[in-house]
């Protein structure tokens, strides 16, 4: 009984000290178990600076792929420095890096209506397409958003039916992000692309 009392007293003391130091023991426990939730606050000025650097690196990688003499090949593109408060908006005329930190509700509709804060832009054209399955018949899209650092392509489906949802989401391929066709056109590679087909391609 005396041991139990000592344990309870130690636990109470730990909670009091943690509270005094401003440590969230619940968050700390979740983090230790791999359940997420950052203990330290996010410094948004830093993640925004990193996002701009990544956008510049991404643009260089895209241009390198475009300017390569190779065709029917795959390219690596830097997309690893974005945070969940960032999104990439694609149109035929170029790409925009957006801050979406204060956007609530339907993200696609909000960005379509011009919401989101512009952080950077690129005039690289015709990159609003992604390839699925066999790398043929690319689909047009507008949005890439990020979940835990993972880039996700969102394809809007404007028609509500019992079969289709409001939109479709596809994870970007982890190792190779762009495919350059025999005609020199680029499309983003999703995880749905046939693995053997992708493995058979040379790197641009």
Across-strand partners of 150? 147
For β-strands 167-171 and 150-156, DSSP reports them as antiparallel
Query: Who contacts 23 (Cβ-Cβ below 8 Å, separation ≥6)?
Result: 39
Residue 119 tokens, joined: 């952080």
Q: 80 and 14 in one domain?
A: no
**Average of per-residue pLDDT values in the chain:** 84
Contact 51, 149 (CB under 8 A): no
Q: What is the pLDDT of residues 136-152, one digit of tens each?
A: 888 999 999 999 889 99
pTM of the full predicted structure?
A: 0.76
Is 39 within the bounds of a domain?
Answer: no
Q: Which 8-state DSSP code applies to residue 134?
A: T
Q: What is the pLDDT of residues 54-111, one digit of tens each?
A: 999 999 999 999 999 999 999 999 999 999 999 999 999 999 999 999 888 888 888 9
Is 37 within the bounds of a domain?
Answer: no
Looking at the structure of the chain, the number of domains it has is 2
Q: 180 and 98 in one domain?
A: yes
3-state secondary structure of 118: strand
Scored b (16 or more CB within 10 A) or e, 161-173 reads: eeeeeeeeebebb
> Is the pLDDT assigned to residue 17 strictly greater than 90?
no
For the segment 9-14, the average pLDDT, to the nearest whole number, is 70
Confidence of residue 167 (pLDDT cuts 50, 70, 90): confident
Residue with tokens 């509270």: 19
> Is the pLDDT assigned to residue 179 strictly greater than 80?
yes
Residue 163 tokens, joined: 């079969």
Residue with tokens 């949005």: 143
Q: 59 and 19 in one domain?
A: no
Q: 28 and 117 in one domain?
A: no
Confidence of residue 32 (pLDDT cuts 50, 70, 90): very low
Contact 132, 170 (CB under 8 A): yes
Q: 22 and 109 in one domain?
A: no
How far apart are the C-alpha atoms of 178 and 186, rounded to whole Å?
6
Q: Which helix (H) or strand (E) holds 74?
A: strand 73-75
- Residue 18 belongs to domain spanning: 2-32
Residue 9 tokens, joined: 């007293």
């Amino acid at each position: 009984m005396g041991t139990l009392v000592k344990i309870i007293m130690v636990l109470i003391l730990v909670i009091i000290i943690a509270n005094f130091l401003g440590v969230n023991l619940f968050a700390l426990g979740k983090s230790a178990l791999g359940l997420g939730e950052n203990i330290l606050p996010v410094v948004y000025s830093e993640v925004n600076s990193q996002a701009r650097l990544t956008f510049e690196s991404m643009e260089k990688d895209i241009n390198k792929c475009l300017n390569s003499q190779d065709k029917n090949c795959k390219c690596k593109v830097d997309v690893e420095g974005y945070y969940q408060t960032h999104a990439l908006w694609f149109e035929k005329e170029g790409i925009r890096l957006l801050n979406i930190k204060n956007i609530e509700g339907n993200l696609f509709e909000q960005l379509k209506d011009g919401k989101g804060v512009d952080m950077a832009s690129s005039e690289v054209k015709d990159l609003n397409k992604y390839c699925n399955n066999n790398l043929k018949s690319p689909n047009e899209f507008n949005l890439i958003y990020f979940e835990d650092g993972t880039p996700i392509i969102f394809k809007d489906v404007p028609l509500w039916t019992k079969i289709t949802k409001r939109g479709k989401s596809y994870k970007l391929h982890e190792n190779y992000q762009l495919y350059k066709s025999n005609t020199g056109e680029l499309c983003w590679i999703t995880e749905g692309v046939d693995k053997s087909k992708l493995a058979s391609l040379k790197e641009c």
